[in-house]
Amino acid sequence: MTARGVLVFGIVDDGQLRPATAELIGAGKALADDGAGPLTVALLGAVTDAHGEAVDRAGVEEILLVSSPEPSFEAHVAEAALAALIESRRPSVVLAGHTVDSLGFAPALAARAGLGFATDVSGIGWGEDGASARRGAYAERLTAELDFPGRETVLLLLREGAFEPATAAGSAPVSRLDLDLAGAARTELVERRTPPAGDVDITTADFLLSIGRGVEDEEQVAKLEEIAAKIGATLSVSRPLVDAGWVPSDRQVGQSGRTVAPKVYLALGISGAVQHLAGISAAKTIIAVNSDPDAPIFAAAHYGAVADLFEVATELQQQLG
């Protein structure tokens, strides 16, 4: 397999570069070290020289700044920009983040341009047959090893937090690349809204008792909230309880909720989906109680118990209340 290099595609949105871009560079450097060819970083958005400096890490050979006609991320503009980059550079591997932004353009580009493609990738490799990737299967109960036979370029969306960020400073040349992106946008931005602040701030709590879909019905939520209060914990939840309208969104932990950093995170009846785990990586001690011994949360937790959440909660109330 000819090694034509690795391209990291980073997005600058409203002036901000996503912190996980350093992880993409770390992963790209590992591929380059394994023989995939030189590592290039391209940034799209309202890019400044400071953004270029921020991605100048050891192992990066070239940095390209691509100005977008839109001040904030627009999916069709991103698709056109990455299509043009791939067309002109023909890299062997393109790395981008598995983010809500990427979900709006990467699959469309992959289908249209006939790329090798995988999303939510947590492991990558480069060998004689080109790129390989690892991702979850069957709701994370298994992992799947993928390859990309016959694909000249492989686009991989990497799971945030799964790769070591590149930290050592580099000295790559930075240049601006003019791409004709005028007219590429197909959506018009009306406004952005930040979530309203709620009555409770779960982000500063030391002890979170967090409940998930395992509670099954709304009546149980009030009971568990009472137990939380008695044992000195603040109640937080996984997304389905907010979706169902049982609990206000300021209690939601995860990618689309809050990022929390308690001393103890006690998860009851939460399976441990990646978007939930994204919110608890800063928790000091994670304890998971789940009736399913194969629940993925046990891989992320420090302590686990296979048990009925109600029985454990009731006992906890007696012992800590």
> Of these, 109, 158, 277, 280, which contacts another protein (CB under 8 A)?
109
If one counts every other C-beta atom within 10 angstroms of the C-beta of residue 56, the result is: 18
The distance of closest approach from Cβ of residue 123 to another protein in the complex, given in angstroms and rounded to an integer, is 10
Query: Which pair of structure tokens corresponds to residue 69?
Result: 């006609």
CA dist 219 and 246 (Å) reads 9
Q: What phi, psi does 145 have (nearest 5°)?
A: -95, 130
- x/- map, 49-88, another protein, by CB under 8 A: -----------------------x--xx--x---------
CA dist 177 and 175 (Å) reads 6
Partner that binds at residue 218, options another protein, ligand FAD, none, CB closer than 5 to 8 Å by kind: none
Query: Can you spell out the DSSP letters for 35-81?
Result: II--EEEEEEES--HHHHHHT-BTTEEEEEEEE-SSSS--HHHHHHH
Pick the closer one to another protein by CB: 40 or 153.
153
CA dist 209 and 232 (Å) reads 9
Three-class secondary structure of residue 271 per DSSP: coil
CB distance 42 to 64 below 8 Å: yes
Q: Residue 89 has what DSSP assignment?
A: H
Pick the closer one to another protein by CB: 180 or 243.
243
> Of these, 37, 52, 257, 269, which contacts another protein (CB under 8 A)?
257
Partner that binds at residue 24, options another protein, ligand FAD, none, CB closer than 5 to 8 Å by kind: none
Segment interacting with another protein, rule: CB under 8 A, options 24-32, 104-112, 170-178, 217-225? 104-112
Binding to another protein (CB under 8 A) within 181-220 occurs at: 186-195, 206-207
Q: Residue 309 has what DSSP assignment?
A: H
The distance of closest approach from Cβ of residue 79 to ligand FAD in the complex, given in angstroms and rounded to an integer, is 19
Three-class secondary structure of residue 182 per DSSP: coil
Binding to ligand FAD (CB under 6 A) within 221-280 occurs at: 238-240, 252-257, 269-271, 273, 275-276, 279
Pick the closer one to another protein by CB: 55 or 266.
266
The β-bridge partners of 157 are 96
Nearest-CA neighbor of 54 among 102, 7, 32, 22?
22
Pick the closer one to another protein by CB: 143 or 204.
143
Pick the closer one to another protein by CB: 168 or 182.
182
- x/- map, 68-107, ligand FAD, by CB under 6 A: --------------------------------x-------
Q: What phi, psi does 315 have (nearest 5°)?
A: -65, -40
Residues that bind ligand FAD (CB under 6 A): 100, 212-214, 238-240, 252-257, 269-271, 273, 275-276, 279, 289-292, 295, 308-309
